[in-house]
Amino acid sequence: MRWRRVKALAKKEILQVWRDPRSLMIVLLMPFVQLLLFGYGVNLDIKHIPLCVFDREGSQLSLALLKRFQASNYFKVVEAESTYQAVTEALDNGRCKVVIVIPPDFSERINDLGASSVQGIVDATDDNTANIGLGYARSVVAGFSGVTELRWSGRRGSASKYQPMTVQSRVWFNEDLESRNFVIPGVVAMVLALVGAQLTSLTISREWERGTMESLISTPTTPMELLVGKITPYFVIGMVDAAFCLTLAVFWFEVPFRGALLTLLLTTSLFLIVVLGLGYLISALIRSQIGASQVALLVTLLPTSLLSGYTFPIDQMPKPVQAITYLVHSRYYVTILKAVFLKGSRLDELALPISLLILYAGAVLFLAARAFRQRLD
């Protein structure tokens, strides 16, 4: 490999990017826009669910239960209804997502029997919010039930037999249970997948559309020299974008970073090589810039957002889909990002995903060089 040829090709590619406003927009604006949108727009923490109450009794005991809902950060009491028709209208109009209905004999049943029930009505148009809201409501009622049962038993001299069970929980790695702590690091994978593949997918197809491929073929440049020369500028650009996103994640969004910076840089470089290789492979196979750009978007961005574990947990997917995710390169990088940021994992602890990324990179680069060689023949 002649490095002088590689340097000349890299310089030529830098000039192409500089003269292409579309490429410059992708390089300069896309990482910043994506980080802001995902950092401020994506929030998986469901809190302050609009709650309506229909207290048919109005006793001191029913008010104590409602105060527990008011004190919870997961609910926001927005209305107090007086009829079932008002409850129906509140749900239909979207003013509340959960309704708690307290029966008229609530206190009487607790005082006499030590047990009662309340009705929970949930708007399930958004099933995820409905399930979580219902779980929150059950937790609030269960906490109130434990205290009430203890008092009821105490009045009958059997308090020791009815001690409520409690759970002492410890949260590791994401102590505040903030969704942005694992959403924002994943934005780095999204940025690299978009910027890297989109830019390199135009490298060879641009030569065909501008009529400069013949002159490029006539040079003594080998397919490997062309590959290295074409993707080197985008590797530098991708690393700059990654450093920018990581800096904002740590210092602007205050995402905890517990791992080693060297581990993150090495794995990011490896993932970027995979993405650039895929973009170059697509560009070598498709002569149209528009077609290459669309295919690159389909092959990189969509799997990264849907099948990498970044947006949806892989273990909750159907078994056939879980098997498909092993073919998605970004799955391994997203796993590394979460482990390095939140767990502080070392290189030896990430041996499996790193090894798979290395195999992926080698296969993609081999196929990319092979694809252009076939074009020359």
CATH classification of the domain holding 76: 3.40.1710.10
Q: Do 188 and 285 belong to one domain?
A: yes
Last residue of one domain, picked from the residues 127, 162, 197: 162
User: Does residue 137 fall inside a structural domain?
Assistant: yes
Cα end-to-end distance, the chain, whole Å: 20
Structure tokens at 61: 């005991």
Q: Do 278 and 304 belong to one domain?
A: yes
Residue 312: C-alpha distances to residues 91, 287, 305, 307, 354 (Å): 28, 34, 8, 7, 22
Q: Do 81 and 11 belong to one domain?
A: no
Last residue of one domain, picked from the residues 162, 186, 205: 162
Task: Specify which residues 120 forms β-bridges with.
Answer: 100
User: Does residue 169 fall inside a structural domain?
Assistant: no
81-137 residue pLDDT tens? 888 888 888 888 888 888 899 888 888 887 777 778 888 888 888 777 788 888 888
Q: pLDDT under 70 in the chain at which residues?
A: 1, 23-24, 26, 42-45, 150, 152-169, 177, 211-218, 372-377
Q: Do 266 and 361 belong to one domain?
A: yes
User: Does residue 147 fall inside a structural domain?
Assistant: yes
Q: Are 187 and 35 in contact (CB under 8 A)?
A: yes
Global pTM value: 0.76
Q: Do 144 and 79 belong to one domain?
A: yes
Compute the distance between CA of residue 252 and CA of residue 248 in angstroms, rounded to an integer: 5
pLDDT score at 44? 67
Q: Do 30 and 53 belong to one domain?
A: no
Q: How many residues does this entry show for the chain?
A: 377
Q: Are 191 and 35 in contact (CB under 8 A)?
A: yes
Question: Which residues are CB-contacts of 286 (< 8 A; sequence separation ≥ 6)?
Answer: 201, 205, 292, 295
DSSP assignment letter at 186 = H
Q: Do 101 and 68 belong to one domain?
A: yes
User: Does residue 191 fall inside a structural domain?
Assistant: yes
60-72 residue pLDDT tens? 888 888 888 888 8
365 CB burial (10 A radius; 0-12, 13-18, 19+): buried
Range of the domain at 353: 3-42+178-376
Q: Are 149 and 114 in contact (CB under 8 A)?
A: yes
User: Does residue 350 fall inside a structural domain?
Assistant: yes
How many domains does the structure of the chain reveal?
A: 2
Compute the distance between CA of residue 272 and CA of residue 239 in angstroms, rounded to an integer: 8
Sign of the dihedral through C-alpha 363, 364, 368, 369: negative
User: Does residue 168 fall inside a structural domain?
Assistant: no
R_g over Cα of the chain? 29
Alpha helices of the chain — where are they, by DSSP H? Answer: 3-19, 21-28, 30-36, 60-71, 84-92, 106-113, 127-155, 180-200, 203-209, 213-217, 223-251, 261-285, 289-296, 302-306, 319-325, 329-338, 351-376
Q: Do 137 and 195 belong to one domain?
A: no
Compute the distance between CA of residue 256 and CA of residue 190 in angstroms, rounded to an integer: 19
Helix (H) or strand (E) holding 323: helix 319-325
Q: Do 188 and 298 belong to one domain?
A: yes
Compute the distance between CA of residue 46 and CA of residue 65 in angstroms, rounded to an integer: 21
Q: Do 26 and 157 belong to one domain?
A: no
User: Does residue 7 fall inside a structural domain?
Assistant: yes
Structure tokens at 30: 């896309």
Last residue of one domain, picked from the residues 162, 190, 215: 162
Q: Do 348 and 365 belong to one domain?
A: yes
pLDDT score at 167? 60
Q: Are 207 and 213 in contact (CB under 8 A)?
A: yes
Structure tokens at 20: 């292409």
User: Does residue 167 fall inside a structural domain?
Assistant: no
Q: Do 133 and 240 belong to one domain?
A: no
Nearest one of 67, 73, 90 to 136, comparing CA atoms: 73
Residue owning tokens 């406003």: 21
pLDDT score at 192? 84
Q: Where are the beta strands (DSSP E) in the chain?
A: 49-55, 75-80, 98-102, 119-122
